[in-house]
Amino acid sequence: MAYHWNWSIFTSPVPTGDTTYLGWMLAGLQTTVALSLSAWLIALLLGGLIGVLRTVPSKWLAGLAGAYVEVFRNIPLLVQLFIWYFVLPELLPFGLGEAFKQKLDPLTQQFLSAMVCLALFTSARVGEQVRAGIGALPAGQKNASLALGFTLPQTYRHVLLPMAFRLVVPPLTSEFLNIFKNSAVCSTIGLLELAAQGRQLVDYTAQPYESFIAVTLLYLLINVLVMTLMRVVEAKTRVPGYLGGK
């Protein structure tokens, strides 16, 4: 089997002529990063809320948050993505679905669906970590805070959450890495992120090995950068006296 290697493919212009194949790759990288970061931001906020709700005394609220987590954890990401992208616009009331399909350009539709999908999928996982973090705090912290006259919301805001969020930074690192990897699933709805650009390059140039090697290296690069960043964050937020702390 003689494969014709051609690394100069990345500097050759694409058919439309306005950029090179390397330009496509970098555009894909940009979409992957933008998508993952925006979804991560939502997932953190929403996950924090879900984690808190799972620990509140109200059985009803805790059960609701529990159901949320089970739904998003037990349906494959790909199925969730297709439901957001293909099903939801059909079911939205008051012409909202029509507006989504007709007023927005396809790129925005894909990006929004992918972002919401990744964000909610990840928020369920973040919620579980936050719940575990709150659960790991000694019961005395909450009791002492209530005894001092804090209300329950104040207890969460000033006592429980500041500690819990510091405790869950290491497990959140792996969720942060996951969101970048999971974003590759969004290539299936036609969103031109990194993996999709790689496949498009194969379709246009028939150079699969160069393309896949480049895409794989870029994912590894993202992985290394995120790990380096999170190592700094972990060191800064470590709680002295706790496992892994100084």
Interface residues with another protein (CB under 8 A) are: 1, 70-71, 73-80, 82-83, 86-87, 90-91, 93, 177, 180-185, 187-188, 195, 198-199, 208-209, 212, 215-216, 219-220, 223
Residue 91 CB, shortest distance to another protein, in Å, is 5
Q: In angstroms, give the least distance from the CB of 198 to another protein.
A: 7
Give whichever of 41 and 90 is closer to another protein, judged by the CB atom. 90
- Candidates 229, 244, 116; CA nearest to 176 is 229
> Taking phi first (over 0 means left), then psi (-120 to 50 degrees means alpha), and beta for anything else, what does residue 218 get?
alpha
Complex with another protein: residue 20 or 188, whichever CB lies closer: 188
Q: What are phi and psi of 8, to 5 degrees?
A: -70, -5
Residue 31 DSSP SS3? helix
Shortest gap between Cβ of 240 and another protein (angstroms)?
Answer: 25
State the minimum distance, in angstroms, from the CB of residue 172 to another protein. Answer: 16
Q: Which amino acid is at 159?
A: V
Residue placing its CB nearer to another protein in the complex, 69 or 119: 69
CB count, 10 Å around CB of 241? 7
Nearer to another protein among residue 43 and residue 159 (C-beta): 43
Is 54 or 142 the residue whose CB approaches another protein more closely? 54
Instruction: Give CA 103 to chain center in angstroms.
Output: 26
The rounded distance, in Å, linking the Cα atoms of 138 and 147 is 15
Minimum gap (Å) between residue 192 Cβ and another protein: 14
For another protein, the closer of residues 72 and 156 by Cβ is: 72
Please say which residue, 166 or 181, places its beta carbon nearer to another protein: 181
- Residue 166: CB minimum distance to another protein, A: 23
Compute the least distance from the CB of residue 51 to another protein, in Å: 19
Q: Distance between CA 234 and CA 170 in Å, rounded?
A: 6
